[in-house]
Amino acid sequence: MGRRGGGSGSAATMPGAERGSELSEQIEAFAARLRRGGERPRSEDTARQTLSLLRKIVGNGRWSRAGELMDLIRTEGQRMTAAQPSETTVGNMVRRVLKVIREEYGRLHGRSEESDQQESLHKLLTSGGLSEDFRTPYPSLRANVIEAINEMLIELEGTTDNIAMQALEHIHSNEVIMTIGYSRTVEAFLKEAARKRKFQVIVAECAPFCQGHEMAVRLSKENIETTVMSDAAIFAVMSRVNKVIIGTKTILANGALIAVSGTHTLALAAKHHSTPLIVCAPMFKLSPQFPNEEDSFHKFVSPQEVLPFTEGEILAKINVHCPVFDYVPPELITLFISNIGGNAPSYIYRLMSELYHPDDYEL
């Protein structure tokens, strides 16, 4: 970044250089914020921040061809995802933008959207993998891509509402719903249902962070009959539960979840009692990664919550772990509710191919 700014020495380009280094500072600050974790950012906010940063890169970056822009986005994207691999949203947004660039380029290049969408087996065979080289410069590309990113930002605004709107189809009167931890999407979902129906919610507290407490407080403020219980009681209570509705951090390519720890227990109990398990998750949480790729989905935080540092002598002799996430295999999940409707885990692959270009799965 700095080199680019320094290269263009003339006074006229100074503002651009200034903006360039400012942008790089912003990206750095964003990466640092992700790295430090801090106060559990909402995935939606992360997605929005990523998108607006990418928009700035598209707007202010020095590129003339689509290929250059994609390389630029890819390198910056790698930097941002490396900062906190467990925040898959960042990578997802980068892939979405890459896909947008491909589409916009294709449109300018004179290819119909249809042909891009439905690559037939025949076409795959005949084209011989000769994909576009993104070399042709189009002056309107910049504006088009920014426009498309703006649309995505607007789409982001409505995701939670879109999911909540479907609540009445899934929650019926006098049902007993179980959930775990605190998810804003689930909160909105339940609140929406509570406007028309009366039902009971059981919240597993989700130790050691106990976000479940916050969830219960928020729900009971809306006059929903809420019970908090310890995670150990999940199995015992499950027989009374009609539906399990949970949020998640990430949906993986195979339809599995990376969700707050304790979710696996809950999902197994639900399976044992044949209770349907519904996952509320906006589409931007859908990640084209598979669970066996390295160990990057793990997030182990300070053991402070499990065994406080003040314990003293014992700490030198023991190992304490405090994982944040659970892996929930796809066969335990009944239904995904996203902002574009309800889908079974087996359908995830299709959504994936609609959202991302196969070449971008690996950043």
Partner 1 sequence: MAARGTARRGAGGGSARGPDPQEEPPPPLQAVLVADSFNRRFFPISKDRPRALLPMANVAMIDYTLEFLTATGVEETFVFCCWKSAEIKEHLQKSKWCRHTSPNTVRFVTSDLYRSLGDVLRDVDAKSLVRSDFILVTGDVVSNFNISKALEEHKLRRKMEKNVSVMTLIFKESSPGHHARCKEDDIVIAMDSATNRVLHYQRTQGLKRFRFPMSLFQNSIENVEVRHDLLDCHISICSPQVAELFTDNFDYQTRDDFVRGLLVNEEVLGNQIHMHVATEEYGAHICNLLMYEAVCSDIIRRWVYPLTPEMNFTDDKNQSYTHSKHNIYRGVDVSLGHGSVLEENVLIGQGTVIGSNCSITNSVIGQNCRIGDKVTLDGAVLWDRVHIADNVEIHHSVICDEAEVKEKVKLKPRCVLSSQVVVGPGITLSEGTVISLHPPDEEEEDDDQFSDDSGVNKESKVKLKGYNKKDVGSEGRGYLWKADDKNEEDEEEQRQSLWGPAMHSEEESESDSDLSMGSEEPDSRAASPQLDDIKVFQNEVLGTLQRGEEENISCDNLVLELNSLKYAYNISLKEMMQVLSKVILEFPLQQLDANLDSQNYFSALLPLLKNWTPLFKNYIKRASDHLNALYAIEEFFLEHDSLCTSIAKVLMTFYQLEILEEDVILNWFSLRDTSDKGKQLRKNQRLQKFIQWLEEAEEESSDGDQD
Fill in the per-residue mask, 74 to 93: x = in contact with partner 1 (CB under 8 A), - = not in contact: --------x-----------
Give every CB contact of residue 121 below 8 A, 6+ residues apart in sequence. Answer: none
Could you tell me which stretch among 8-16, 106-114, 305-313, 355-363 binds partner 1 (CB under 8 A)? Answer: 305-313
Count of other CB atoms within 10 angstroms of residue 37? 14
**Smallest distance from the beta carbon of 73 to partner 1, in angstroms?**
18
* 9 is a contact residue toward partner 1 (CB under 8 A): no
In Å, how far are 168, 180, 317 from 195, measured between CA atoms? 9, 21, 53
**Smallest distance from the beta carbon of 262 to partner 1, in angstroms?**
18
* 293 is a contact residue toward partner 1 (CB under 8 A): no
Residues facing 193 on adjacent strands: none
* 304 is a contact residue toward partner 1 (CB under 8 A): yes
How far apart, in whole angstroms, are the C-alpha atoms of residue 258 and residue 89? Answer: 12
Alpha helices in 140-240 (DSSP H): 141-165, 167-170, 184-194, 211-221, 234-238
* Residues 271-289: b if buried by 16+ CB within 10 A, e if exposed: beeebebbbbbbbbbbbbb
* 10 is a contact residue toward partner 1 (CB under 8 A): no
Residues facing 72 on adjacent strands: none
**Residue of 315, 335, 340, 363 that binds partner 1 (CB under 8 A):** 315
**Residue of 119, 222, 225, 311 that binds partner 1 (CB under 8 A):** 311
- List the structure tokens of 296: 């990057």
**Residue of 2, 158, 341, 358 that binds partner 1 (CB under 8 A):** 2
Nearer to partner 1 among residue 5 and residue 255 (C-beta): 5
Residues facing 227 on adjacent strands: 202
**Residue of 320, 335, 340, 363 that binds partner 1 (CB under 8 A):** 320
Residues facing 336 on adjacent strands: 279, 343
**Smallest distance from the beta carbon of 72 to partner 1, in angstroms?**
16
**Residue of 168, 298, 341, 358 that binds partner 1 (CB under 8 A):** 298
Fill in the per-residue mask, 36 to 65: x = in contact with partner 1 (CB under 8 A), - = not in contact: xx----------------------------
Minimal CA–CA distance to 355: which of 134, 71, 92? 92
Q: In three state form, how does the secondary structure of 76-132 look? A: HHHHHHHHCCCCHHHHHHHHHHHHHHHHHHHHHCCCCHHHHHCCCHHHHHHHCCCCC
Fill in the per-residue mask, 164 to 203: x = in contact with partner 1 (CB under 8 A), - = not in contact: ----------------------------------------
Nearer to partner 1 among residue 174 and residue 310 (C-beta): 310
Residues facing 202 on adjacent strands: 178, 227
* 312 is a contact residue toward partner 1 (CB under 8 A): yes
Nearer to partner 1 among residue 77 and residue 247 (C-beta): 77
* 292 is a contact residue toward partner 1 (CB under 8 A): no
Nearer to partner 1 among residue 110 and residue 312 (C-beta): 312
Strand, coil or helix: 219: helix
Residue ranges binding partner 1 (CB under 8 A)? 1-2, 18, 21, 24-25, 28-29, 32, 35-37, 82, 294-296, 298, 300-304, 308-313, 315-316, 319-322
